[in-house]
Amino acid sequence: MNGLRVIKAGPLSLLQDGGRSGWQHLGVSPCGPMDRHAAYWANRLLGNAPGASLVEIALGGVELESLGDGWVALCGADLPITLDGEARPNWSRFPLRAGQRIKLGFARNGQRAYLAITGGFRVEPVLGSVACQVREGLGGLNGQGAKLADGDLLPGGEGRFERGASVPWPWQPDYRAERPLRVMLGGDAGQFADDQLQAFFQRPWQLSPQSDRMGARLQGEAIRAPQRQWSLGVVRGTVQVPPDGQPIILQADHQTMGGYPILGWLHPRDCDRLAQCAAHQRLRFQAVDISAVQAEVRAFRRFFGAGS
């Protein structure tokens, strides 16, 4: 059998793919990779579809053994990568021989790395996806939402290349760069007092350690939100403001309905950047027009063949 054996699973390694679409009306979260930019590049390097199954590795500390000859690609967080003790570059693809071991150290910058294999990992989907959702107990290797564990076998890896390849450097993000995250105002934004909207964009925020794949929680001087008496559907990137005035930005494992007032939505490309931010990192936001966001997202999706 081709594929990988998990020697050390690390703090949180999850099988992900393009996500579980078409089930949110029944309360099922879409899941998928937190950083789509890195995940799509890992699959592109191997000629896979952008939503092919791969492993999302949080923080690092992973060791894997190759069960056969094949190719893998790694993109995302800046972490040490070695193959049988020899360094390998990030944002690249490289070959494996049976019995070789890949070791990933802990991230120096960024939070999540993506490991893809030729053809994707062959795992039985649940509701059309292998995306692992621990909270709901869906997907993953056993179909019940379990994170990867030492000793797990990940089948896959058919396909060969003549040479290695890397992502061109302009498309390799610098996770140390401090740039404002862009927000499209909308939802209940018109009900916020003007000074409270200005405060959201003018004040510095910190990413709370309580953040997870469901939502990024912000810490800072509270803002006042209007009251709302009903719930409505929510999507990834929704900026909610609960009664304590500490905003929450919904992430890949977000719930499907929410009752907190909505200030707006984070730019989809900046959801990827947010996924690579460390706890306590300082964050700032700026308002952006939806037309510019639409054009950028269309170009991104067309480049990777993920539709328009």
* Residue 176 resides in a domain: no
Same domain for 155 and 45: yes
Share of the chain above pLDDT 90, in %: 89
* Residue 230 resides in a domain: yes
**What pLDDT is attached to residue 132?**
96
Same domain for 192 and 103: no
* Residue 308 resides in a domain: no
Read off the pLDDT of residues 210-242 as tens digits, 9 standing for 90 and up: 999 999 999 999 999 998 878 889 999 999 999
CA distance 262 to 189: 7
Same domain for 268 and 214: yes
CATH of the domain at 204: 2.40.100.10
> What is the longest distance spanned by two Cα atoms in the chain?
62
**What pLDDT is attached to residue 160?**
86
Same domain for 250 and 131: no
76: containing domain: 3-171
**What pLDDT is attached to residue 306?**
81
Same domain for 49 and 139: yes
Same domain for 79 and 7: yes
CA distance 250 to 266: 9
Same domain for 156 and 31: yes
Read off the pLDDT of residues 79-135 as tens digits, 9 standing for 90 and up: 999 999 999 999 999 999 999 999 999 999 999 999 999 999 999 999 999 999 999
Distances (CA, A) of 293 to 128, 201, 298, 300: 29, 18, 9, 11
Quick one: average pLDDT of 240-268?
A: 95
Same domain for 285 and 246: yes
Same domain for 132 and 225: no
Same domain for 287 and 220: yes
Among the listed residues 282, 212, 271, the one whose alpha carbon sits nearest the alpha carbon of residue 239: 271
